[in-house]
A and B are shown apart, each in its own frame.
Chain A
Amino acid sequence: MSGATVLAAMGIWTLIALAVALAARRGMGEGANEFFLGGRRLGGFLSGMTYAATTYSAFMLVGLVGLTYRTGVGALGFEMTYLIFTVLFLLVFGPRFWLVGKRQGQITPPELLGSRYENKWVALTAAVISFVMLIPYSAVQMIGAGLLVSGLTGGQVPFMVGVVVMALLSGFTAIWAGMRSVAWTDAVQAITMIVTSIVAVLFIFWRFFGGPAGFAESITTQSPELLEFTWSPALFVGLSLPWAFFALTNPQVSQRLFVPAKLSSMRKMIMYFAVFGFIYTIISTIFGFAATDIVPGLENPDNAMPALLSQLPIALSLIIFVGIFAAGSSTLGSIILSLSSLFTRDVVRVVKPGISERAERRLAQIAMVVLLALCVGFASLRLNLIAVLSSMASGGLLVMAPAIVGAFFWKRGTAAAALVSMIAGAIVTGTMYILGPSFYPLGWWPSVWGGGLTTVLFVVVSLFTRQPASAVAFVDELNKELAERHLT
């Protein structure tokens, strides 16, 4: 594919997204609540689409396709397990985050933890862990864009062009009008992601297999081993566990539980997201299966999608490319906005509690520029660490799960326990990921050890330290409100 064609597609898509972001600013008010959460008045469809576009990154049409290509149906199981856990967690924690956030005015998930445990260091620690884990993960989105454009054009468009264009698009949408512009562009990007992938999969069915039945017959006949579930329990649990808790532990998604205008909007958000995830997951794995037939024998499974694109008509390749680019940039924009809110609410306010909301917004916008510059710098190093960094991001954030669950369900949970469990868990998990698989005890992944360690530490330390004075009231009042609204 020629460099000019890819640049033109990327340019047109960027202009569309920018126009949507510009329009989203109309009607935006002042203050942190408005900038970071869209004033807590997003409708169900917008909430669902921004949740979906934030959750599903370029990993789906590159990483998951490659994982299916290499390991078969286990990849579908892993991703569906994530979706099952996420939907169940949203039913339980969605109303809880929403009610508490509305009542107490919290903007970030760490802020909620700090309030529940009556300790600003809990919020600060959660924010720092989020930075450490999510900055490299953000860079991975840009690396994906760079590899995709340079791969598709045979190097005519340099790697860094993809990186910088994605940074500029994501940065602008987040800086311009915060959650409003991110949510609106996310909605457009989510629709683009799902429509382009449906069109592509239908084309592949009929062009290469004569229809869905022909596709199923071809894979079953030629590669039946891909439909057998051959993953080891260590691999399945190691990959699935951190992703299962993704909805709770990743601030860029848990923060979205604050944004629906009403409870009925949250219901729609959950349902729209669930249906989107279900369709997008099946399509991504079908691409992987189809690639085994159309472009067999690839050494690097991450090349399965680019190789598949090379077999399609240019127009179709371009729309799938735009879909992948949209998936990456929507995730990146959401993470950058979320991290900037963590920086101002949970870091800056610790040292300067009286900062005005206007100054806070300016500071967040500056923080986003700095964060993006850091990510671009990180991406430019082109370290061969994509898989490690992606795994570490989800595995590392898992260490916050016991403190988050305990905040809502265990009155006995203490600030000391939250701090010890998060810090010790992050150190142990991070060290294991960096040392590599040969250092995984008994072959089980760091997320398993880190998740187990943090849970034990949280429980044990809680039992030996003083419960926050307002913990009982926090949980009781929440339960009362949930009962009044028939939510328990």
Chain B
Amino acid sequence: MAHGYSGKILEVDLTARRHSLSDTDMKAAEQFLGGRGLGVKTLWARLPTAGTDALSPKNPLMFWPGPLSGLPLAGPSRVTIVTKAANTSPTEPSWPHASTLTWSSVGGHFGPALKQAGYDGLIIEGRADRPVVLVIDEHQVSLRDVGSLWGQPTSVALKQLHSDLGPDFRLLTIGPAGENGVRFAGIISDVKRTTARGGAGAVMGAKNLKAIAVRGAKTVSLHNPDGLRNLRSDIASLLANWNNYANWRRWGTAPLLLSADKAGMLTTRNYREGSWPAVDKLGLPTAEREFWVRHASCAFCPLKCVKTGQISYGPWRGTIAEGPGYSAAAMLGANCGANDFGDLMALIARADELGLDPIATGNVLGFVMDLCEQGLLSSADLDGLSPSWGHTPTLLQLMERIAKRQGVGAILAQGVKQAAAQFGPATVPFAMHVKGQELAGWNVPASHDFAIVYGTANRGGSHQDGASIQEQHRRTFLDALCVCRFVYGAVGTAPYQRALSLATGWNCDDATMLAVGERIWNLEKLFNSREGFRRIDDKLPARFNEITFRTGPKAGANFSAAKQDSLLDSYYDGRGWDKKTSLPTTEKLTALGLDKLVL
């Protein structure tokens, strides 16, 4: 058996209510590692043709740890979910269900637990005839009826499952939004983090799968255990000596709100401004003084970015919520015009409880309020509701309607792109998305790098995927190892290249790392190309070419159409892709060893 892998993948067929084991393809593992890499490789193999309906039983929902998962290192604590996206579509679709693939990862303990349960991956196909929970207790795998848990908010489901199964199980669950097929529903982990982007929660809901519980304490064979033991201390030292270590442990990503505001990169009122006067009310110092009661960590990491608190005043006093992390605070805060900390946390708490992607939800709500302000929507279109910037009670009502797909909620639950198509052509320019994926909490006019980040991310408008080609490859490599972005920011890639070598015995110099990233990235691109995505789908909403910031430190910043085109031209050039179509050239695919895969 190869080192670093258990060699087994757990396959669950929900239609037949059966599970089986398959062998990990070790040749593929050496090329694609795990996580996002093996996930994309497997998705490509399982969906041989374009146009699969993401919400159909055929779409595999896959959970991938990596070769470092379950090892006691700070960093590889995530699990990457790979599936065909429920929320994306090309500008000119050739078939009804054309969509990108999506990968979405979540920190906590689920990934390490899945690996320690003995699996290199978990592939779920089919659709259960009634709502179920998948319970994985090492080799004992079972499906249990969820009964009354279906329809319950995520915290109720987590509490019930922990009490039924035992508090040492690690959990992922969906909320009502995923059950009801909201296109931007996420999957929530037991540390209250969300695999937000790409609608994986809707895919899980379409399979009638409410939750997954996993427990395990197995080990895999390791190439150099002593080396890993030492490396673990080295990573701990590097982290402890990181100049941001104490800040990060204390505040997590909350301070980014203040710095993004200063840099004009915040998303304010549907992206029209890059700063927000009430920003100091949304994150620090209020969070620390009025809200946080404890901090939680992901597996084997001392950074404890997971901040939990309880609203201490006002109408939502007593509500327990996780955050505010930067993205949720930017999107449900500044982008929705929130100017009160309690309001923001009430919105975040509701998004978590309903199982909604907080980023996309903030984008959708901002879109609705923008349309109301422009006079393109009225309360008659919105079930009698009149949402206005910062009016939290109305926003909470809209979120409930979205999650349950009631009334106008059924339209908004499709995301801004489809909703705009339904509301009429005049509303289309206000839909801030790329490929149908709602943009996230970083604005563009004062930071043009995000044209590449959002535009070229293979899962659509994501802020996580890197602004340069090399950075995209580094991050892709880390996603294949399920290493956290924040720990990477503190210690770089080198410890994880070394960890991979020590665990598997494979050489992993910089060239190897970047080649793995490029291979995965291009295979994702091929998947999307097959679905019909082209250069036009890599462009930001044209509204960015019209917005000029009027307020804040970056007043006057804009983003021209010409800049958009020149950025894409040089990006495709750098990648060896065709500038006109954005498709990878045959030479590029051959160089990456992907040509055989494609044929």
Instruction: Specify whether A and B are partners.
Output: no
The residues of A with any CB-CB pair to B shorter than 8 Å are: none
The residues of B with any CB-CB pair to A shorter than 8 Å are: none
